[in-house]
Amino acid sequence: MTFEQLGLCPPLLKALAAEGYTTPTPIQLQAIPHAMSGRDVQGIAQTGTGKTAAFALPILHRLAANPRHAGPGGCRVLVLSPTRELASQIADSFRAYGKFMKLTSTVMFGGVPKGRQARAMAGGVDVLVATPGRLMDHMQDRTVRLDSVEILVLDEADHMLDLGFIVPIRRIVTTIPKNRQTLFFSATMPSEIGGLAGAMLKDPAHVAVTPVATTAERVEQHVIMLETSKKRAVLFDLLMGPAKGRTLVFTRTKHGADRVVRYLEESGLPAAAIHGNKSQGQRERALSDFRSGKCRVLIATDIAARGIDVDGVTHVINYDLPNVPESYVHRIGRTARAGATGVAISLCDGEERAFLRNIEKLIRAKVPTMTPPGQAPIETRAKAA
Ligand code: AMP
C-alpha cells in the first residue's frame, strides 16, 4: 500500500516524496483512511511509530478539500500536546507536510511571552498546536477562540495525565463545537484515559500498533554489571568505542545529567544535556546541535526525552536504569525509529538489579550481559593471571 493508494491529495504526496517517505507505517495505514473519511479515531501508538503523520496527513487533506477561514482568533484544527518540545515538533510536521499547500499554522506553549502568540492568532489560522496550560491562558485573555474548531487532536493522552492536564483538557473541550472530528492518541490506555476518550469521542475507529514489548524486540540490548563508581569511566569508554554514533544517554535525575555532561566535557568529549531545569533556548540549542551532529552525545532525563524527535540515533545508553520498567522501553525506542535497528546498553549497579529484573519481566526477555569495553572477559582474565 502506498500514500497514493490512500488517496492523499497531490500536494501532500509531493511533500512526502520531499521528506523521503516511501511507504506508510502501520499506524498510518490503519488511521489515515478513517481520519480522511471524517470518523473519530482512538489510537494506541507510541512516539516513533509515525503517529504524527497518521493524524497530520488526513487533517491537511481535509482542510485543503474544503478551504474556509476560521475568523479572528480562531482555528480550524486544534492539536493539544503535553510538552513544548512535542508541540514544536508537531507544528514542524504540519509545516513540512503542508509546504505545498496554502495553509497557516502556529504553535503556543508556556515559558515564552504570550504577545507574539496572540499576534499570530489575530487573523485566525488553519492549525493551532498548543500545550493545555498556555492555551487556557490565551482563552482567558480572549486572544484565542475555539468555536470554529472542526478537528481536535489529543496527542500523548497518557502523558497529559502524568502532567495533571486532564482537568484543563476537559475544560477546553467543552468550548469546542460538538460536531467536530476528534483524533485521540495515547501510548497506553489506563482506565482514566479510557474514560476521557469515552467522553470526547463519538463511535471511534480503534487503531493500535506495537505493544510495548515488541518495540523492544527490534533493539539489540546489552547490560553491563558494574560498581556505581565505575559508571563514568565505562560510559566514556563506550562513547569512544562501541557507541561511536549519535548517542542518547539517559540519567534518572537532572543533577545526574549535569554531572555526566561535566565529566565528559572534562574528558574532552563535547556533550549537552536536556532536562527540566534548562531554559527553552538551552534545550533548543542542545537538540539542534545533536540533530546537526555538532554534538553527538545528548544526555537526557525521561521526561525531557519524551517527544524529542531525532532520527538516526544509533545508541541509547542507560547510565541509570529507570525504576519504571515502561520507561526502559520508551528510552530504547529512541533508537530503532521508523523501522531502523539500534543498540541499547544499560549500566546496572548493585542497587539497580531489582529494576533490571522488572524490566526483563516486562519485555519478557533476558537482557544479555556485556563486558565493559577495553576489559577482557572475566574468564580470559582469570586464565591470564
Ligand atoms: P512520530 O512517531 O510521529 O514521532 O514519527 C517518528 C519518525 O518517523 C519521525 O522522524 C518521522 O519523520 C518519521 N516517519 C513518519 N512516517 C514515516 C514514513 N511513512 N516513512 C518514513 N519515516 C516516517
Q: How far is the CA of 48 from the centre of ligand 1 (A)?
A: 6
Q: C-alpha 60: how far from its chain's center?
A: 21
Euclidean distance between CA atoms 178 and 197, whole angstroms: 14
Q: How far is the CA of 177 from the centre of ligand 1 (A)?
A: 31
Whole-number pLDDT of residue 339: 57
Predicted confidence band at 306 (pLDDT cuts at 50, 70, 90)?
Answer: low
Contact 30, 207 (CB under 8 A): yes
Q: How far is the CA of 167 from the centre of ligand 1 (A)?
A: 30
Pocket test for ligand 1, best of 5, 25, 85, 330 (most atoms within 8 A of CB): 25
* Residue 127: strand, helix, or coil: strand
Mean pLDDT, range 331-358, rounded to an integer: 86
Euclidean distance between CA atoms 207 and 385, whole angstroms: 59
| In the predicted structure, residue 10 carries a pLDDT above the cut 90 | yes
Domains of the chain: 4-208 (3.40.50.300), 219-384 (3.40.50.300)
Task: List, as one string, the DSSP characters of 190-220.
Answer: -HHHHHHHHHH-SSPEEEE---HHHHHHTEE
Least confident of 209-213, 244-248, 287-291: 209-213
Whole-number pLDDT of residue 243: 82
Per-residue pLDDT tens digits for 124-151 = 999 999 999 999 999 999 999 999 999 9
